[in-house]
Structure 1
Amino acid sequence: MSLPFSRWFGPLTRAVTYTRWLHLVVSGVVGLTFASILGITDAGVADWFLMFFVHPVPLVAAAALVPAMRRAEGLQARVMLFPGAHARVDDDESEDAAGSGVSVSPSASWDDRVRTALWLVLRLEVGGATAFATVNLIGQALALTGAAAGAPDEDSPLFAVAGPRWLAALLLPLPLLALYVVVVLAGLLVAAAARRFLGPSPAQRLAALEERTEQLIERNRIARELHDSIGHALTVAVVQAGAARATADPAFTERALEAIEDTGRHALEDLERVLRVLREDGRPARERPTLADADRLLVSARTAGAKLYVDLSGPVDRVPGPVSREGYRMLQEALTNVLRHAGPVPVRVQVAADEALLTLDVRNALPAPAATTGRGGSGLRGIRERATLLGGRADTGPHEGDWRVRVELPLT
């Protein structure tokens, strides 16, 4: 028994029922204004029709031409039709609109103005009908209350009760129940209409989707940045510490500690830059490293014991910024992959650039056939993802007895 009661009479306990009712009844102010202008003092049905369905329509339709009107109506709709956390006006318009389905942006096109005009007219008419029902049904309930108390029924808005007092008491709940039904249904109607007419336009939805996509891409890029930078620093530290302990040479140990310190300092700089971007504290973030800073990667790998043979050709320093930054991270991950899985082995690094293509080729000897096992982790997958996002390609795997990471990135 409790479930049907909660379903049919649950709106009585919800604040949104009454805020929607107030939102609709407020539209009666427009009708009352026109009643004052027209000199209507004792409004009948025909007068209500003139007050809400004839004279105000051109005025509210013209008001929709003002861009700020859409914002004002959106704010009211959020607060009174959809009360909740999304009723606040924050900078993130897409999240707010997703919560209520109502935009608070001014009209930016004729489509927005037309939909705002339709909303204003609908709100006026539904609000006028709700105000009419509110006044007359409450008046009828008061008349029935007086009749049940024995007072003469002289001014019933809808119908007069001629009969015993118990009949008036029996009929008393009917106008209140009718008012309840009108308020709930009108509230549902106006809430659905607000989402339809005040919701984001297709252009706004597309812009919000693009912004959300950019945010996801940025988060993915930051995750890769942290993986590459911190992973490289930890790999170098582990390799250097292991080599220093194995050699027990004070001079080598000192160089290893210097390499660990230098690599750790750069990793902390990268971490600070990423965290500053995430915090958005307004302070300028350090520039991301590019291929022009590749020397520090090569020095770090050499210090870790790798025997590097480097071949740089072409105007590498003039590679476009986005490609150069991603190329740096790809080279960093490729060298980290060598140190992590193959140790201090000979590594051949080729970086070539021309007017149309940047090529990275990193090859290292495999200490044993089993060394290829498990070398398809997130680092190499990140290299392939970076290359794909830039319109290029990356191949990783065994090649002529070596392990090769080859990346080709278009520059045009």
Structure 2
Amino acid sequence: MVRLLRPFGRAVTYTRWLHLFMAVVWPAMWIFLDEQWAVVSVVPLAAAGLLPAMRVVEGVQARLLLTGHRPDDAGTDILVAPAVAWSDRGRLVVWLEARLLLGSCVAMATVQLPLLAVDLATVADGGRQGPGSYVRLGDGHWWYALLSPLPLVLLAAVVVGSGTAVTWLARRLLGPSPAERLAALEERTDQLLERTRIARELHDSIGHALTVAVVQAGAARTANRPEFTDRALTAIEETGRAALEDLERVLGVLRETERPLKARPTLADADRLLESARASGAKVDAEVTGPVETLPGPVSREGYRILQEALTNVLRHAGAVPARVRVAVADEALTLEVCNALPDGRADPGRGSGLRGIRERAALLGGRAHTGPDDAGDWQVRVELPTG
């Protein structure tokens, strides 16, 4: 019993009822002229459904009255957007006519069923049936009184059932078409890819800065020499300032500010990474061949981040060991290689998100990445990115 009565405690049950009554306002205006005009009124209603903005009006009503959501709520099945394709306009016409038909039936039941309940009770008591009822009753019988609650029960079922039916129709006729669903899916995919890219940016930049700071602070404490401490603090300051610039740029993207954003670093700025690694104690032997400044923007920016993450791994997992960096720019590809000795004979200096990020960056540009021990037993990060 509680389950049957539960819908009548929800406001949306009555707003759906009101939504169906609103559909009858248009033909009711024509009834005052002539009942035949009420039938003809479906023609201009169908013509209105061909207007693109009509779906905005119907979508707002449906969201507010049928689902209880605000028009600007996301994640609902009912769109609040103009109908662009003719198939969407056709679905809107079907929706308007179906809502009119269902609303007329519900309005009729709302008026007639309570009248029928009153007539049953009146006739059972020996009275006469009122003139407004469409259901004519025979001679009075006492058992009519037992039937008088049934029209009210039927009315309650009509209210709940019609509300559920019109909501089901709205989700299918006012909801997104297959093309709109595909466009929304592509937009969502782009958003996820952008979030993944931002997460990689923060991981590489902030992770590199923290690694340099930790290594420099530990080395300064071990050396216990004022001049070394000064160099370590300078390196920490420069790396931290660069990380703050990256963080400000990423936050600017997230906030969608109108201020011009600082350009992302490219391989032309690789000297900053190399000096930071050398200041942290690593002996970096770098060799750059080819016109780095002519690389396409995406390739140069991703190459910078890959080099940054590779050097961060050297400092984090191997420490102050010799490292060899090779950057070669050819006509068709960029080759980036970072090799370092493995301390204590370890064969795997970590398999965290950094190496996975390197492989993901390479794959997004159609390149490939290899991470692991080379033939000489050193740890190697080798990435090839197409430049065409």
Q: TM-score range by the shorter chain?
A: over 0.9
Normalising to structure 1: TM-score of the pair?
A: 0.88
Deviation of 1:275 after TM superposition, in Å, equals 2.4
In structure 1, distance between residues paired with 2:352 and 2:130 = 87
Secondary structure in structure 1 of the residue aligned to 2:371: strand
AA aligned to 1:74 is G
State the one-letter code of the partner of 1:202.
P
Deviations 1:204-254 (A, max 9, x none): 111111111111112211221111111111111121122222222221211
**Do residues 37 (structure 1) and 20 (structure 2) align?**
no
Could you tell me which amino acid in structure 2 is paired with residue 23 of structure 1? H
1:144–1:161 CA contact under 8 A, matched in 2: no
2:339–2:380 CA contact under 8 A, matched in 1: yes
Indicate the residue corresponding to 1:88 in structure 2.
71
Match of 1:385 in 2: 360
1:26 pairs, out of 22, 31, 49, with 22
Gaps spanning 5+ residues in structure 2: where? none
- 1:365 touches 1:402 (CA, 8 Å); kept in 2? yes
1:362 to 2:362 alignment:
no
1:237 pairs, out of 213, 218, 221, with 213
User: How far apart are 1:150 and its partner, in Å?
Assistant: 6.6
Q: Which residue of 1 aligns with 2:230?
A: 254
Q: How does 1:212-361 map to 2 (within 5 A)?
A: 212-361=188-337
Question: Which residue, out of 131, 135, 144, partners 2:111?
Answer: 135
Letter in 2 for 1:126: L
Give the 3 Å change call, closer, same or farther, for CA 200–283 of structure 1 in structure 2: same
CA contact (8 A) 2:208 2:308 kept: yes
- Aligned partner of 1:75 in structure 2 is 60
SS in 2 for 1:394: strand
Question: In 2, Cα distance between the equivalents of 1:377 and 1:154?
Answer: 82
Moved more, 327-336 or 349-358: 349-358
Counterpart pick for 1:159 among 136, 141, 149: 136
Q: CA deviation at 1:146?
A: 4.8
How far, CA to CA, are the matches of 2:349 and 2:270 in structure 1?
Answer: 27
> What is the rounded CA distance, in whole Å, between the counterparts of 1:143 and 1:405 in structure 2?
89
The whole-number CA distance in structure 1 between the counterparts of 2:314 and 2:251 is 28
Superposed CA RMSD: 2.0
Report the Cα distance in structure 2 between the residues aligned to 1:314 and 1:110, rounded to whole angstroms: 55
How many angstroms apart in 2 are the aligned matches of 1:37 and 1:163? 38
User: Aligned to 1:401, what secondary structure does the other structure show?
Assistant: coil
SS at match of 2:385: strand
SS at match of 2:137: coil
Query: What is the CA–CA distance in structure 2 between the aligned matches of 1:111 and 1:354, rounded to whole Å?
Result: 52
Structure 1 window deviating more from structure 2 (108-117 vs 145-154): it is: 145-154
Relative to structure 1, the CA distance from residue 139 to residue 296 in structure 2 (aligned partners, 3 Å threshold; closer, same or farther) is same
Matched, 1:398 2:376: no
State the distance in 2 between where 1:154 and 1:321 align.
84
Using structure 2 for the length normalisation, give the TM-score. 0.93
Residue type of the alignment partner of 1:67: P
- Alignment partners' CA distance in 2, 1:249 and 1:31: 92
Displacement, 1:381?
Answer: 1.4
Specify the alignment match of 1:122 in structure 2: 98
Partner of 1:93: none
Q: Is the 8 A contact 1:145 1:169 kept in 2?
A: yes
Q: Report the secondary structure of 1:108's partner residue.
A: coil
CA distance change for structure 1 residues 35 and 397 in 2, over 3 Å: closer, same or farther? same
Q: How far, CA to CA, are the matches of 1:185 and 1:293 in structure 2?
A: 67
The CA distance in 2 between the partners of 1:296 and 1:262, in whole Å, is 9
- The one-letter code sitting in structure 2 at the alignment partner of 1:108 is V
Shift of 1:82: 0.8
Q: Is the 8 A contact 1:143 1:156 kept in 2?
A: no
Q: Aligned residues, how many?
A: 386
Closer, same or farther in 2 for the Cα pair 1:328/1:62, shift >3 Å? Answer: same
**1:202 paired residue among 170, 178, 190:** 178
Decide whether the 8 Å contact of 2:337 with 2:383 is kept in 1. yes
- The whole-number CA distance in structure 1 between the counterparts of 2:136 and 2:186 is 59
Give me the whole-angstrom Cα distance separating, in 2, the residues matched to 1:212 and 1:149.
66
The residue type paired with residue 136 of structure 2 is F
Match of 1:63 in 2: 48
CA apart distance, 1:31: 2.1
Q: Is the 8 A contact 2:123 2:140 kept in 1?
A: no
SS at match of 1:37: coil
Percent of pairs identical after alignment? 59
Contact 2:348 2:372 in 1 (8 A): no
Return the alpha-carbon distance in structure 1 between the equivalents of residues 215 and 361 of structure 2: 27
Distance 1:335 1:37 in 2: 84
Deviation at 1:103, TM superposition (A): 0.7
Once residues 97 and 24 of structure 2 are traced to their aligned partners in structure 1, the CA distance between those partners, rounded to angstroms, is 13
1:218 aligned counterpart, secondary structure: helix
